[in-house]
């Protein structure tokens, strides 16, 4: 399973890159706005830093606006994936972008049915938002499982990119299902790494070794 970082923050990307765990990045308008400054400069820096796919999202809501923006966003680098919202106009744009070989990530996916439509139209990725569904007491991960079955049934090449991740259990469940990619906030990567028994165990080993040297 590939690990993308769900952020527009360059320091977080550098940290995860140094760990060797940065397979790609997903941004969205909220994450970009948090960084402030000129979004074009920020997008260019992200595309340069990341050796993998970088999702940049369109703002337009009509097919024409999305296609125009997608062409502009794609010019930031070969690694750009254009994020298209899961609305009817987005689906119309998707077909043309697929034909133009512009990579796409259909975002704000909340049901397996939506994912099926995006896959049929050749989306490169679909992003089911599991955390936001869980918050409404719908099981986000169950939907991901159904998407996996549907895509395998028809050999769709669209990759499942699990998004809106809130905790390490989302990561484990996604890996068990066989999701292709998961996009994580920096905090979840830290949570995955940490275990109190590792810290206690290492402290004990080092203390024993120090006592032995005296």
Which residues contact ligand E4P by CB under 6 A? 6, 26, 28, 107, 127, 129, 131-132, 163-164, 183
Find the shortest distance in angstroms from Cβ 110 to ligand E4P: 11
Find the shortest distance in angstroms from Cβ 187 to ligand E4P: 11
Between 109 and 121, CB nearer to ligand E4P? 109
Between 102 and 165, CB nearer to ligand E4P? 165
Between 139 and 200, CB nearer to ligand E4P? 139
Between 28 and 42, CB nearer to ligand E4P? 28
Q: How far apart are CA 125 and CA 115, in angstroms?
A: 9
83 is catalytic: yes
Which of 71, 83, 92, 120 is catalytic? The answer is: 83
Find the shortest distance in angstroms from Cβ 31 to ligand E4P: 6
* Enzyme catalytic residues: 83
């Amino acid at each position: 399973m590939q690990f993308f970082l769900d952020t527009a923050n360059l320091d977080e990307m550098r940290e995860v890159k140094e760990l060797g765990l940065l397979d790609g990045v997903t941004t969205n308008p909220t994450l970009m706005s948090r960084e402030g400054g000129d979004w074009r400069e920020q997008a260019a820096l992200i595309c340069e830093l990341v050796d993998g796919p970088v999702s940049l999202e369109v703002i337009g809501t009509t097919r024409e606006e999305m296609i125009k923006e997608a062409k502009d966003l794609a010019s930031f680098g070969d690694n750009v994936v254009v994020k298209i919202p899961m609305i009817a106009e987005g689906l119309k744009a998707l077909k043309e972008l697929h034909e133009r070989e512009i990579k796409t990530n259909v975002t704000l996916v909340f049901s397996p049915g939506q994912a099926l439509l995006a896959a049929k139209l050749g989306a490169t990725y679909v992003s089911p938002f599991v955390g936001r569904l869980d918050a409404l007491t719908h099981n986000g991960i169950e939907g991901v499982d159904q998407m996996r079955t549907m895509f395998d049934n028809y050999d769709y090449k669209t990759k499942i990119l699990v998004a809106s991740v809130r905790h390490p259990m989302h990561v484990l469940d996604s890996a068990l299902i066989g999701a292709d990619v998961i996009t994580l906030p920096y905090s979840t990567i830290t949570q995955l790494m940490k275990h109190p028994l590792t810290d206690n165990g290492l402290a004990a080993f080092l203390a024993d070794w120090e006592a032995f040297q005296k």
